């Protein structure tokens, strides 16, 4: 396996990683909206937890995009 093949595999893996982050971002965002709309104060702690997870997922997705972009540059 040569460098180009390894980079191509790494790029595909980063694309999947970015998509997984996006799925979590979408799920957490919708769950927060759902909890807010429900007005169920019993879920306030869970909502705060989801808010924290959402921020983490967004940051990690940004990091994954940086690596994705530099891998892609090497393949051009």
pLDDT of amino acid 9: 98
Each residue's pLDDT tens digit in the chain (76 positions)? 899 999 999 999 999 999 999 999 999 999 999 999 999 999 999 999 999 999 999 999 999 999 999 999 999 8
pLDDT of amino acid 76: 84
pLDDT of amino acid 21: 98
Report the distance separating Cα 65 and Cα 48, nearest Å.
26
DSSP 8-state symbol, 39? T
pLDDT of amino acid 1: 87
């Amino acid at each position: 396996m040569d460098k180009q093949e390894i980079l191509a595999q790494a790029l595909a893996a980063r694309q999947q990683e970015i998509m997984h982050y996006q799925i979590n971002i979408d799920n957490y965002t919708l769950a927060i909206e759902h909890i807010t709309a429900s007005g169920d104060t019993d879920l306030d702690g869970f909502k705060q937890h989801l808010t924290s997870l959402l921020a983490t997922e967004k940051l990690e997705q940004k990091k994954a995009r940086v690596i994705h972009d530099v891998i892609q540059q090497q393949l051009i």
